[in-house]
Structure 1
Amino acid sequence: MKKTLLFILLITFAHGVAQNHMVADLKIQGNNKLKTSFIKSLASIKGGSILDSTIIEQDIKRLKRLPSVAHAYYQVFLSDDGAYNVFYGIEENFTLIPSLNIYTTDNDEFAYRVGLAEFNALGRNIAVGGFYQKDVFNSYALNFRAPYLFSKRFGLAFNLQSLTTLEPVFFNNTSANYRYNNKSVEISGLYEFNFSNKLEIGLNSFEEDYQYQSGETSENVPLELNIPKWLIKGIYDYNMLDYFYQYISGFRSQFNFQFVTSNQDGVDDFYIGWNDFFIFKRVGEKGNWANRVRLGLASNNDTPFAPFSVDNNINIRGVGNTIDRGTGVIVVNTEYRHTLFEKDWFVLQGNAFIDAGSWRNPGGELSDFSRSENMKLYPGIGLRFFHKKIYNAVFRIDYGYGISKNATQGLVFGIGQYF
């Protein structure tokens, strides 16, 4: 009886092994600048592993998220020895990309940012770039980001920045304009737990400098302020998005937390945290419904230098360049994108959107979110011009028209989708 049972178990086990088809080799085709060795280092399918369509499809989704990949697909063929050859097909993006952002409102405000970045340096998905910004004053930044520098899971990022803007400071129902400069050096470690979950932890040394320019003054608000600070940040990214050229589907949640401290007397420690939720859904063959919700809170200090701003290029299209500040934020951006024309590499897309948000006043209460004067509601329309084989080659034009209290309207230009 025992021998019979053992024989049955052996037969069952052998049958199970026979059903597990093996991979003879993984082959990469279609890539040019992107290194074959780099693609294979990211792939979970290897020669000698079990053929699993779920793992292959996950590999393809991972590849389509790379800036250097416009599209990816796979094929499976039976080899002479009874195993299977897996082919990953790559359609590459052009990755040396100029950038341009222009912001205007009906108040004749004008600002722009121009930059250049390579998103596939050395054929290993390393991003190197920088920008110059003119927003009354001059600013610049240099960036380096290599998410797979050391392994499939561990990478590094480095940023150097000097950002100078004319910032409104609000106090006692009035305001003043300050020249704000932030010089910073930041280094971050990047770790990928698995396909969907990533963590970034960074250390930033920076100096904030405020210089009074014009407007009202108060003995409680300094005309000059210079503070060296340290910042520790963490970003947790849960990403289940799937890409098909200009279309996106799925869910993503990105949580940011920062803790700021200073050795200078009289400067309180400060925290800020926010979470962006993204939901994308395909609508028919040519439609895409896109949504972003941002929820954020910071240390509720009664200060004119509150961290969350109301701004054209960040959250509310048409509202103006940094028209208000708060210590808490709730923003909802929703838009319907529809492909109007598509031929070869070119896509013309139209969109209709609603941007809405509210802020907590510095030192205020959570009830501030429900105050009409803190609410912004801006519907609008826009156009998108795509090049399907150049990374992030989306030129956008949006016009937002405010229908909330003290509303404005204006055009917002830029490279890349708004979110």
Structure 2
Amino acid sequence: MIKNCFALLYLLLICNVSAQTMVVDDLKIEGNKKLKSSFVKKISSVTSGSVLDSVVIEQDILRLKRLPSVSHAYYQVFPSVDNKYNVFYHIEENFTLIPSLNVYTTNNDEFAYRLGLYEFNALGRNIIFGGFYQKDIFSSYAINFRAPYLFSNKLGLAINRQDLTTLEPVFFDNTSSNYKYNNDSFEVLGLYEFDFVNRMELGLNYFNEKYNYEFGATNPDVPQELDVKKWLIKVIYEYNKLDYFYQYVSGFKSQLNFQYVHAMDNSLPDFLVGWNDFLFFKRLGQRGNWANRVRFGLASNNKTPFAPFSVDNNVNIRGVGNVIDRGTGSIVLNTEYRHTLIEKDWFVLQGNGFIDAGSWRNPGGPFSNFTDSDNIKVYPGVGVRFIHKKIYNAIFRIDYGYGITKDASQGFVFGIGQYF
């Protein structure tokens, strides 16, 4: 940050000294080992012969700091010849070949785990490739490929293959049952970056969805078996003005996810589902970070036990339990204060206090469901983060949430990466 300030002051000084147009003689990349210099130049707006502009340089630096392969970046500017200047981008790389192992227990006290391996900088061009195997009573796997700048500095591609099988609770008539749920899907997305802050994803997902009754309550109107092929059109639009400084984040981000789902079986209705995440982060002092997420989602209000929005520990409310309810609408607020307790070169110990709150619309219910006391969940809590500053997303988190609303529960939530 200090180096960037000195570089900016230097640019302002030379702007005052000379009224002539200042031109970039060359863009030089330093500090990178695996990340290709050609790739950095490909996605940068600063090029040889372009006008020297501190605003454009700052945007390039922010874009680099958002890459999984970069832990930090800064720039310097030095005079060359004939009113030309060399721009240096200094890069501190992340370690990006990341194995993962998550171990947990299910609601039935069954031992479960997920073992994965992802490379976040394949070929030195910020290509993400990897997958995981999961054993959660049933076996599952996924393979993912994502190259945001595959074709140009604006156009990319993502391909996802997943065969996921879980034991899912289904809610109806104030009771529930458990189904073996399988989602076997193939997805292709086009990725386009309009400018520095706006980007879009558009694509098609074809999947086979199966529900098979295992145990629990039954109802003649709720099928005990469902096997249907579906396809969906997915649109994601993102406005991103976040700035990163190692574990600290500041700025605003909005991400809209909208899907149209069509069932090949004419007996099932088509439906729409969409949600928007609004995120706001602010640095507080030298060691504090205030983080906020507001999620608002709505779906076609069909009266079905298979509603798309779940109330879940790992998604929206820490401490509430694993998939304790479902709905066709969702409003969730997550706010937390993160404070760096210890920072030693590569290691950071961070503590946090949070409040997670949300409400849901029942399947087929009115909007007034959002204000029903039965549907409102409020869970304050505390947690810790163990962070490795030189390995991408190497954040191990432990949170404990304690419910203070009707029929509340409490519990620990473990995970990799910040909760949001």
Structure 2 distance, partners of 1:132, 1:413, is 19
Contact 1:358–1:375 (CA under 8 A) maintained in structure 2: yes
What residue is the counterpart of 2:191 in the other structure?
190
Contact 1:337–1:350 (CA under 8 A) maintained in structure 2: yes
What residue is the counterpart of 1:5 in the other structure?
none
* C-alpha RMSD over aligned residues: 1.7
What residue is the counterpart of 1:266 in the other structure?
267
Structure 2 distance, partners of 1:382, 1:106, is 22
- Written as runs of structure 1 = structure 2, the 5 A alignment for 1:225-304 is 225-304=226-305
Change (3 A) 1:112 1:320: farther
Percentage identity across paired residues of the two chains: 72
- Written as runs of structure 1 = structure 2, the 5 A alignment for 1:121-132 is 121-132=122-133
Change (3 A) 1:147 1:24: same
Structure 2 distance, partners of 1:121, 1:349, is 30
What residue is the counterpart of 1:165 in the other structure?
166
What residue is the counterpart of 2:355 in the other structure?
354
Question: 1:370 offset after TM fit, Å?
Answer: 0.5
- Written as runs of structure 1 = structure 2, the 5 A alignment for 1:201-220 is 201-220=202-221
C-alpha deviations, 1:136-193, integer Å up to 9, x for none? Answer: 3222111000000000000000000011111111111111111111000000000000
Structure 1 distance, partners of 2:203, 2:17, is 47
- Written as runs of structure 1 = structure 2, the 5 A alignment for 1:15-414 is 18-102=19-103, 111-414=112-415
- Equivalent AA in structure 1 for residue 126 of structure 2: N
Structure 2 distance, partners of 1:250, 1:341, is 24
- Equivalent AA in structure 2 for residue 304 of structure 1: P
Question: 1:113 offset after TM fit, Å?
Answer: 2.8
Change (3 A) 1:166 1:51: same
* Bigger radius of gyration: 1
Larger relative CO (CA 8 A, sep 6+): 1 or 2? 1
Structure 2 distance, partners of 1:23, 1:200, is 33
- TM-score w.r.t. structure 1 length? 0.94
Question: 1:16 offset after TM fit, Å?
Answer: 12
Change (3 A) 1:286 1:17: closer
C-alpha deviations, 1:77-103, integer Å up to 9, x for none? Answer: 011333110000000000001234455
Structure 1 distance, partners of 2:54, 2:76, is 11
Structure 2 distance, partners of 1:38, 1:229, is 38
C-alpha deviations, 1:102-157, integer Å up to 9, x for none? Answer: 55699857654332100000000000011122333222111000000000000000
Structure 2 distance, partners of 1:222, 1:293, is 35
Structure 2 distance, partners of 1:255, 1:195, is 17
Moved more, 311-320 or 59-68: 311-320
Structure 2 distance, partners of 1:410, 1:99, is 23
- Equivalent AA in structure 1 for residue 216 of structure 2: G
Uncovered stretches (5+) of structure 2, i.e. residues with no partner: 1-15
- TM-score w.r.t. structure 2 length? 0.94
> 3-state DSSP class of the match of 1:63?
helix
Contact 2:203–2:234 (CA under 8 A) maintained in structure 1: yes
Structure 2 distance, partners of 1:135, 1:317, is 21
What residue is the counterpart of 2:6 in the other structure?
none
- Equivalent AA in structure 2 for residue 369 of structure 1: F
Structure 2 distance, partners of 1:244, 1:174, is 48
Structure 2 distance, partners of 1:309, 1:37, is 44
- Equivalent AA in structure 2 for residue 344 of structure 1: D
